[in-house]
Amino acid sequence: MHNEIKRRLLREVVQANMAMSTAAPLSTPQPTPPRVEHRRRAMVGRILCLAAALVLMPIDDMSTVISTVIKQHVEVPRPPLVSAQRPTVLQPADESVSVAELRVAAREPRVETSAPAEPPPTAREVKSPEPMFPAPVPINLAVIPLGVKKIVLDPGHGGKDAGTSLPSGFTEKELTLDIGLRLRGLLEQATFEVFMTRDKDDMIPLMQRTALANAKGADLFVSIHVNWVDRGQARGIETYYLGPTEDPVALQLAAQENHNSGYSLADFRRLLDRIYLSVRRNESRRLAEIVQQTLVTSLRPENPTLVNRGVKTAPFAVLVGTEMPAILAEVACLSNAEEAQLLATAQYRQAIAQALFQGIRVYAQALNRSVKKGN
């Protein structure tokens, strides 16, 4: 019986107290009506009675009474306190939720949460754009009025570098110098300006030979060599221009010729760039094809069994550093007994010089004709 009285009194007091605390304040003070004032005094009296009852009587199951009153009060709709939008009322998950927490939840406005944004595409999902510009087209030299005026001749080897040689003492360095001097005379008679990387038995590093050609502003670079093929029956002429190759014979020949290059590992990248430089390489190919053809055609009367070994590419160091069209001509095979006998004669060496001169002049004339057409 006592518990029932306590529950009823406690329920009424809590409801009245919460109703008074949540009532909206008036914007301006107004006189209190007599009826309202009477109700307030009655409420104060009940609170005092409840306090006396709580002191005089034991209380059990108080949490059930308070939670029931709070739940009934929360379920009553009330106007929003923060915004015009109806707030979301949180229901207590259990009876241990405090009144203060419920009041804060009731006063908080509803926050609209947007849907999570889609994650940005990964690197694999992003497609690389198509190239906007086409690959550059090599320039046709006919567009620019260029001619051949200065030529650098490079007699291979020299000094302590004898090149290939016969047991009798016949050396490549002597043959190439003799042919180079003869060719210089022919070119100078044709009003070309000629420079030689060596005009006597000197040892000149390959890098310095290239530097000389660049410093003189040469239009063409022609390196003269005599071949040596392990198979003694091999014979003939072949002309090289700068470029990569997979031919093991050409690679071996380039390795032999490059052993005194003067370049270091630090020059590797620059050398590769020059090996694959297209415009100068194309002109070098044209020069090599013309010189190879004139050598074969001019020397066949002197050497009927002459073999045309063709035009080839190889990474010769003496051609790498040049800034102009450059070729390396292997004008004979010293390893072949018959060609060695021909090379021993001044007449055949003069015929080789004459063939080289003819090839250079044909290339220069073809270039001049294309320049005139371009103009």
- Is 189 exposed, middle or buried (CB count within 10 Å of its CB: 0-12, 13-18, 19+)? exposed
- Are the beta carbons of 313 and 142 closer than 8 angstroms? no
Same-domain check for residues 248 and 370:
yes
Which residue, of 27, 49, 76, is where some domain finishes? 76
Residue 91 domain-assigned?
A: no
Q: How high is the pLDDT of residue 327? A: 97
Residues 191 and 52 in one domain: no
Q: What is the mean pLDDT of residues 99-109?
A: 48
In terms of C-beta distances under 8 Å and separation of at least 24 residues, what long-range contacts does 201-206 make, across chains too?
Answer: 201/158, 201/159, 201/173, 201/174, 201/177, 202/158, 202/159, 203/158, 203/159, 203/160, 203/161, 203/260, 204/158, 204/159, 205/260, 205/261, 205/262, 206/258, 206/260, 206/261, 206/262, 206/263, 206/317, 206/318
What is the rounded distance in angstroms from the CA atom of residue 334 to the CA atom of residue 352? 14
Q: Which two tokens stand for residue 242?
A: 């700068």
* Number of domains observed in the structure of the chain: 2
Among the ranges given (160-164, 243-247, 352-356), the one the predictor scored with the smallest mean pLDDT: 243-247
CA distances from 217 to 159, 194, 356, 367 (A): 26, 11, 21, 18
250 and 145 inside one domain = yes
> Is 181 in the same domain as 275?
yes
- CATH assignment at residue 292: 3.40.630.40
Shortest CA distance to 324 belongs to which of 209, 218, 210?
218
Final residue in a domain of this structure, among 52, 76, 100 = 76
Which among 90, 93, 94, 85 is positioned nearest to 104, based on CA atoms?
Answer: 90
Residue 350 burial (CB count, 10 A): 16
Q: Which residue has the higher pLDDT, 219 or 112?
A: 219
As given in the structure block, the two tokens for residue 360 are: 């250079």
- Sign of the C-alpha dihedral computed for residues 55, 57, 62 and 68 taken in this order: negative
Residue 205 lies in a domain: yes
Confidence grade of residue 90 (pLDDT, cut at 50, 70, 90)? very low
pLDDT tens profile 339-360: 999 999 999 999 999 999 999 9
Q: Do 51 and 157 reside in the same domain of the chain? A: no
- Is 127 part of any domain? no
Question: Same structural domain for residues 67 and 181?
Answer: no
Global pTM exceeds 0.75: no
Looking at the structure, tell me whether residues 66 and 184 fall in a common domain: no
Domain that holds residue 62: 1-19+40-76
Residue 162 domain-assigned (yes or no): yes
d(CA 8, CA 115) in angstroms, rounded, equals 49
CB half-sphere exposure, 8, CA atoms < 13 A: 4
Distances (CA, A) of 275 to 131, 208, 324: 26, 18, 13
pLDDT of residue 350: 98
Q: Could you give phi then psi for residue 249, rounded to 5 degrees?
A: -70, -45
Domain end position, chosen among 58, 76, 94: 76
Model pLDDT for residues 19-31, shown as the tens digit of each residue: 655 554 544 555 5
In-domain check, residue 97: no
Residue 108 lies in a domain: no
Q: Residues 51-75: what's their mean pLDDT?
A: 50
Is residue 63 domain-shared with residue 147, that is, in the same domain?
no
CA 26, 29, 34, 38 torsion: positive or negative?
A: positive
At 167, the pLDDT band (50, 70, 90 cuts) reads confident
Looking at the structure, tell me whether residues 59 and 147 fall in a common domain.
Answer: no
Q: For a pLDDT cut of 90, what percent of the chain falls above it?
A: 40
Query: Domain check: are 49 and 180 in the same one?
Result: no
* Pair 290, 153 in one domain: yes
Is residue 238 domain-shared with residue 315, that is, in the same domain? yes
Would you state the structure tokens that stand for residue 274, as one six-digit string? 């020059």
∠ CA 112-115-121 to the nearest 5 degrees?
A: 150
Query: Domain for residue 308, yes or no?
Result: yes
- Identify whether 84 is part of a domain: no
**Residue 267: which residues within 8 A CB-CB, separation 6 or more?**
none
Q: Say if residue 47's pLDDT is above 70.
A: no
